[in-house]
């Protein structure tokens, strides 16, 4: 049987070489991986060691700083406590002095309270007397109240009488107003009459002046015109604006007549005649003059119609 069993074939050199290369490659890969792992592991461990060492140093420095700060704080607190103790001792001494002062004040206040009690008793007695006086005054007030009621009744009667007097006074006031109006009208009429008398005097002087001119007596005619001008000038200052302007025109005519003498007696006679006629016409009423002035200032518009082509 051993002779019939086939013997295993031996691998060729190429196959064994390939296997060797594969194994070598795997070994190299594993070695490289292990080396890389060792390298990075050592690097990480070194970094961690450095970091831990640095953290420890920082913590130690922080602890030292905290310890120094705590020592300073403790020193400050001890100094502060010592200062407070000194202050408390000073305050205790001050309070002792204050207590002594308060005791003396309390003794003084007790004496004052004793005096006040005596004063209160005296005031109580005075108050009793004042209450009696108030009762007496109340009785007097009741009497005065009754008198006041009677006076109010009398005052009501006086009020009625005053109302009647007011009515009579109102009637008198109305009568006085009517009398004043009548007096004003009379004064206006009197003033108008005085103005008319002055105008008549001026007309008389102008008439005499005309006669003197006719007779050839130039100096007398000029003198009469001057007197008439003076009268009209005095009258002009007491007249309204419209009438004063009218008098101004008359005075202008008289001035022109005087200027014409003695060279041109005829011209003077004409000017004198114009002034005399204006005086004859009388002074214009103020309302009529205003209406005439309004008509002069706003004439009716008259235009030529435009021819239609």
The CATH number that applies at residue 223 is: 1.20.120.660
The whole-number pLDDT of residue 306 equals 40
Helix (H, G, I), strand (E, B) or coil at 285: coil
Whether 174 has a pLDDT exceeding 80, the answer reads no
Lowest mean pLDDT segment, chosen from 72-86, 117-131, 180-194, 280-294:
280-294
- Per-residue confidence band for 287, with pLDDT thresholds at 50, 70 and 90: low
The whole-number pLDDT of residue 29 equals 92
User: Does some domain include residue 71?
Assistant: no
Mean pLDDT of 265-283: 85
Whether 180 has a pLDDT exceeding 80, the answer reads no
Q: Which long-range contacts (CB under 8 A, 24 or more apart) does 219-227 make?
A: 221/261, 221/268, 221/272, 222/258, 222/261, 225/254, 225/257, 225/258, 225/272, 226/258
- Per-residue confidence band for 8, with pLDDT thresholds at 50, 70 and 90: very low
Mean pLDDT of 20-24: 88
Mean pLDDT of 113-120: 83
Helix (H, G, I), strand (E, B) or coil at 11: coil
Helices and strands, counts by H and E, the chain:
5, 0
User: Does some domain include residue 102?
Assistant: no
Distance CA 221, CA 215 (A): 10
Residue 290 tokens read as 């205003």
CB-hemisphere CA count at 13 Å for 289? 12
Whether 292 has a pLDDT exceeding 80, the answer reads no
Domain count, the chain: 2
The dihedral built from the CA positions of residue 153, 154, 157 and 159, taken in this order, carries a sign that is negative
Q: Is the N-terminal amide bond of 13 cis, ω within 30° of 0?
A: no
Question: 195: domain range?
Answer: 185-283
Whether 291 has a pLDDT exceeding 70, the answer reads no
User: Does some domain include residue 267?
Assistant: yes
The whole-number pLDDT of residue 281 equals 84
Burial class (CB in 10 A: 0-12, 13-18, 19+), 247: buried
User: Does some domain include residue 118?
Assistant: no
Burial class (CB in 10 A: 0-12, 13-18, 19+), 220: middle
Whether 3 has a pLDDT exceeding 60, the answer reads no
**Residue whose tokens read 């009754």:** 146
From residue 158, alpha-carbon distances to 38, 162, 164, 165, 245 in Å are 135, 6, 10, 10, 61
User: Does some domain include residue 59?
Assistant: yes
Whether 119 has a pLDDT exceeding 80, the answer reads yes
Mean pLDDT of 253-277: 85
User: Does some domain include residue 278?
Assistant: yes
Lowest mean pLDDT segment, chosen from 121-125, 184-188, 210-214, 260-264:
184-188
Q: Are 212 and 221 in contact (CB under 8 A)?
A: yes
User: Does some domain include residue 174?
Assistant: no
User: Does some domain include residue 263?
Assistant: yes
Residue 245 tokens read as 């302007």
Higher pLDDT pick, 185 / 261: 261
- Per-residue confidence band for 300, with pLDDT thresholds at 50, 70 and 90: very low
Start-to-end CA distance of the chain, whole Å, equals: 163
Mean pLDDT of 262-283: 85
The whole-number pLDDT of residue 307 equals 39
Mean pLDDT of 10-30: 84
- Per-residue confidence band for 172, with pLDDT thresholds at 50, 70 and 90: low
The whole-number pLDDT of residue 30 equals 92
Q: Are 307 and 297 in contact (CB under 8 A)?
A: no
């Amino acid at each position: 049987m051993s002779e019939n069993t086939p013997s295993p074939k031996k691998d060729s050199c190429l196959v064994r070489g390939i296997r060797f290369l594969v194994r070598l490659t795997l070994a190299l890969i594993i070695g490289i991986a292990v080396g890389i792992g060792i390298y990075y592991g050592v690097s990480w461990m070194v970094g961690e060691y450095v970091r831990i060492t640095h953290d420890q140093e920082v913590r130690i420095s922080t602890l030292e700083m905290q310890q120094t700060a705590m020592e300073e704080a403790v020193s400050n607190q001890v100094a502060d406590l010592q200062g407070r103790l000194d202050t408390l001792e000073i305050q205790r001494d001050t309070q002792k002095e204050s207590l002594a002062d308060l005791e003396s004040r309390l003794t003084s206040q007790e004496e004052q309270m004793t005096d006040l009690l005596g004063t209160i008793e005296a005031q109580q007695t005075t108050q009793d007397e004042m209450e009696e006086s108030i009762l007496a005054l109340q009785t007097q007030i009741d009497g005065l109240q009754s008198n006041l009621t009677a006076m109010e009744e009398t005052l009501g009667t006086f009020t009625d009488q005053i109302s009647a007097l007011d009515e009579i006074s109102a009637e008198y006031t109305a009568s006085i107003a009517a009398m004043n109006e009548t007096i004003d009208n009379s004064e206006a009429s009197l003033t108008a009459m005085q103005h008319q008398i002055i105008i008549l005097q001026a007309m008389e002087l102008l008439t005499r002046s005309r006669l003197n001119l006719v007779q050839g007596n130039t100096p007398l005619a000029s003198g009469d015109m001057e007197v008439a001008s003076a009268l009209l000038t005095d009258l002009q200052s007491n007249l309204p604006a419209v009438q004063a302007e009218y008098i101004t025109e008359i005075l202008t005519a008289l001035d022109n007549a005087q200027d014409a003498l003695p060279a041109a007696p005829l011209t003077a006679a004409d000017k004198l005649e114009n002034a005399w006629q204006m005086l004859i016409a009388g002074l214009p009423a103020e309302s009529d003059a205003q209406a005439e002035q309004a008509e002069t200032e706003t004439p009716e518009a008259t235009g030529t119609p435009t021819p239609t082509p």
